[in-house]
Amino acid sequence: MAAVTYENVGRVAVVTVDNAPVNALSQAIRIGLSEAFDRFDADGAADIAVIVGAGRMFIGGADISEFGKPPKSPSLPDVINRIEASTKPVVAVIHGTALGGGLEVAMGAHYRAALAGTRLGLPEVKLGIMPGAGGTQRLPRLIGVDPALKMITSGAPVTEGDALKSGLIDRVCEGTDIRQAALDYAQSLLAENAPARPVSGLPQPADTDSALSNWRARLNASLRGEVAPLVAVDAVGAAVVMSFAEGLTEERRLYMELMETPQRAGLIHAFFAERAVAKLPEIAGIAPRDVARIGVIGGGTMGAGIATSAVLNGLAVTLVERDQDAADKARATIARNLDAAVKRGKLNAERRDAILADALATATDYATLTDTDLVIEAVFESMDVKKDVFAKLDAILPRGAILATNTSYLDVDEIAAATSRPEDVIGLHFFSPAHIMKLLEVVVAGKTAPDVVATAFALAKRLGKTAVRAGVCDGFIGNRILSHYRTAADHMVLDGASPYQIDKALTDFGFAMGPYQVSDLAGLDIGFATRQRKAADAHPRDRYPTFADALYHKGWLGQKTGHGYYIYDKGDRKGRPDPEVEQIIAQARAGAGITPRSFTNDEIVRRYMAAMVNEAARVVDQGIAQRPLDVDVVFLYGYGFPRWRGGPMKYADQRGLDAILADIRTFSETDDHFWSLAPLLQKLVAEGRNFDSLNQR
């Protein structure tokens, strides 16, 4: 049961927040804190109060169960103001994490201390809002405008060491006993006759070196439409020019405006969706198999990335290649990946050396895999090659070992049929670079055992991946939908749009990259191979992007050759448009007898998104994705979809499914083959429902 307890220990009042698992600031906790400090002010036996959190952390932030519901009294700003108004000193002693409202509570105290290993942050911008309980007013008074803006606009937490250097906290406490650390610090403050020291009484922060304008310029250049960080800059600006009371009022006004934005709704949807994807009825209560040693077949970019991810997360890996030269090359790739992790501060040199010496083995013989618990195949995307690999693994691996394929498109049921144990076969579709990208599509074949599915999700969690269940079809969830909306983009190029206009329209919409920038990054040889694979199944009315093949045959394969849709000068990864590409496209149009027309950026976005949503509706309707939210998470983590829009299905709900449907009907007037309506989309519009209604099932 949620509780705030009050206890006298000598002259110290110990106020403990106890609301497992993260001490969230529910209404009950807010009431409890208000009552505790009313009691403290009236308590003649207490000269100082300490606030601590029970369990593994101080206060994790707001109570997510209250998200989207009418606010309940007392508000968090009122509670924090009540704490700060105490005439006797108040100390917050923090352990674990103090995030969002939790850190705002700590800043409402007069002194702050933390145990080693503590993280402190204001992550509200990641939910489309900003600190709304004094964080934008108190933090710059404690640490200055520029450091405060760095914390607030990024949402990234800081360590207790950095917090001490900046002035956010006053002491780092020794030991691990939070209660004893709090009592010791309180006693030392009593011995010093330390007074109450409200942050609101500290000097008003100054806009040193034009930090506010610098941050506005920086964020305008990088955010691609996200508004919360920029509004947070305005709130911090209020701390510079207004009194504390006026600043609190302005902060709350801006906070409430953000609460009503579609971006806040999109980011809250993303927050809950990424927690829901792993909640599958088919594995509820099912224990995963133990996985300590894994094998990886193939040491190319993908295989080496998978192996890197595994060793970085404490797994022993044996990587098998076709010959010693290839095995040595794979080891060198993994070593470079680990070196990069050292440079980024994610790994120390000693740990890197230990991994290379003890956790990673390379080999050329499948027999070295006989003691592995799970083997991931990451070889060439050929059904014959993969079936040969699985037949060999089936012959040598012990029963109970899991056989996984990293295929991007191929039929996992057909691969499983090459073994005598289809129940142990599953798809694990990693995204490149596999040691960095967070998405993992778990492709469940027809005979995959439930505990194998549970193991896949447990492995994903260990690797720090966000796993999404997918069914078997060409391309699974992400690549199947990608194929459809990329075709829509190619059609627009054939009809008159520039690839550069399309990329610009979609990055302005919020995508990390446009489709032709993505092609250059992945390599145009990848797209060529995909088109060739699908050519046998092409419909007579399919429109083929001959311009893409022309670039491939010129050897313009994208960034790796310095030339694709864009020209990449030495050291430039952004690229610049190429007039010769425009000429090649013009020739393709002429060859197809097309008279080009102009496109507005709005039409480009509407066509691209309608194609994405229409195919996604089919994917959900056919059970390839179990819920619309699964599609959203795939695109947020694997395809650069703007997080603040919540994913393609959330975007469709916010725009209105009737508007999407109307667009598709309009587009189908000139191409009813490509723009055929998904039955689920029609059904939802007819019933007055949206995609989110299907997330509740």
**pLDDT digit string, tens, across residues 272-302:** 999 999 999 999 999 999 999 999 999 999 9
Tell whether 279 is covered by a domain: no
Residues 184, 241, single domain; the answer is yes
Tell whether 374 is covered by a domain: yes
pLDDT of residue 697: 65
Residues 38, 66, single domain; the answer is yes
pLDDT digits (tens, 9 = 90+) for 487-514: 999 999 999 999 999 999 999 999 999 9
Residues 462, 507, single domain; the answer is no
Q: Please give the Cα distance from 684 to 696 (Å, whole number).
A: 14
Domain of 149 in residue numbering reads as 3-260
Q: Please give the Cα distance from 479 to 442 (Å, whole number).
A: 13
Give the max Cα distance, the chain. Answer: 91
Q: Please give the Cα distance from 509 to 224 (Å, whole number).
A: 7
Tell whether 390 is covered by a domain: yes
Residues 423, 559, single domain; the answer is no
Using DSSP bridges, classify how beta strands 90-94 and 119-121 pair: parallel, antiparallel or unpaired: unpaired
Segment (H or E) for 502: helix 499-509
Q: Name the stretches of the chain with pLDDT < 50.
A: none
Using DSSP bridges, classify how beta strands 119-121 and 97-99 pair: parallel, antiparallel or unpaired: parallel
Q: Which residues pair with 14 in a beta bridge?
A: 7, 50
Count Cα atoms within 13 angstroms, Cβ side, for 565.
Answer: 25
Residue located via tokens 């505790």: 36
CA 320 to chain centre: 31
> Which residues 6+ apart lie within 8 Å of 159 measured at CB?
118, 119
Cα-based angle 50, 51, 52 (whole degrees, multiple of 5): 115
Residues 619, 506, single domain; the answer is yes
Residues 159, 73, single domain; the answer is yes
Residues 522, 603, single domain; the answer is yes
The burial of 245, by beta-carbon neighbours within 10 Å (0-12 exposed, 13-18 middle, 19 or more buried), is given as exposed
Q: Please give the Cα distance from 317 to 308 (Å, whole number).
A: 9
Tell whether 141 is covered by a domain: yes
- What secondary structure does DSSP assign to 334-356, as a single string? HHHHHHHHHHTTSS-HHHHHHII
Residues 466, 482, single domain; the answer is no
Would you tell me how many other CB atoms lie within 10 Å of the CB of residue 349?
A: 10
Radius of gyration of the chain (CA): 28
State the angle between helix axes of 601-621 and 679-687 in degrees (0 to 180), rounded to the nearest 10: 100
Q: Please give the Cα distance from 676 to 481 (Å, whole number).
A: 14
Per-residue DSSP letter, 390: H
Is the CB of residue 413 less than 8 Å from the CB of residue 436?
no
Q: Please give the Cα distance from 482 to 471 (Å, whole number).
A: 16
Residue located via tokens 């079936």: 387
Residues 96, 185, single domain; the answer is yes
- CA 176 vs CA 91, 179, 180, 188, 497: distances in Å: 18, 9, 9, 18, 62
Helix/strand/coil percent split, the chain, to 5? 55, 15, 35
Residues 218, 321, single domain; the answer is no
The SS3 assignment for 567 reads strand
- CA 167 vs CA 2, 170, 195, 628: distances in Å: 32, 6, 18, 45
Residues 47, 145, single domain; the answer is yes
Is the CB of residue 155 less than 8 Å from the CB of residue 125?
yes
Domain CATH code at residue 248 = 3.90.226.10
Tokens standing for residue 459:
């492995």
Using DSSP bridges, classify how beta strands 111-115 and 171-173 pair: parallel, antiparallel or unpaired: parallel
Burial 566-582 (b: 16+ CB within 10 A, else e): bbbeeeeeebebbeebe
Tell whether 284 is covered by a domain: no
Q: Please give the Cα distance from 339 to 351 (Å, whole number).
A: 11
Q: Please give the Cα distance from 236 to 143 (Å, whole number).
A: 12
Tell whether 80 is covered by a domain: yes
Domain CATH code at residue 653 = 1.10.1040.50
Choosing from 470, 501, 522, the residue where a domain stops is 470
Is the CB of residue 13 less than 8 Å from the CB of residue 48?
yes
Is the CB of residue 265 less than 8 Å from the CB of residue 128?
yes
The burial of 522, by beta-carbon neighbours within 10 Å (0-12 exposed, 13-18 middle, 19 or more buried), is given as middle
Tell whether 276 is covered by a domain: no
pTM greater than the 0.85 cutoff: yes
Tell whether 201 is covered by a domain: yes
Residue in 260, 277, 271 with CA at minimum distance from that of residue 654: 260
Backbone angles phi, psi at 467, to 5 degrees: -95, 140
Q: Please give the Cα distance from 524 to 676 (Å, whole number).
A: 28
Domain CATH code at residue 371 = 3.40.50.720
As a residue count, the chain comes to: 697
Catalytic residues: 104, 124
Residues 381, 516, single domain; the answer is no
Choosing from 436, 470, 504, the residue where a domain stops is 470
3-state secondary structure 20-55: CCCCCECHHHHHHHHHHHHHHHHCCCCCEEEEEECC
Q: What is the number of structural domains in the chain? A: 3
Choosing from 448, 470, 492, the residue where a domain stops is 470
Query: Which amino acid is located at 655 in the chain?
Result: R
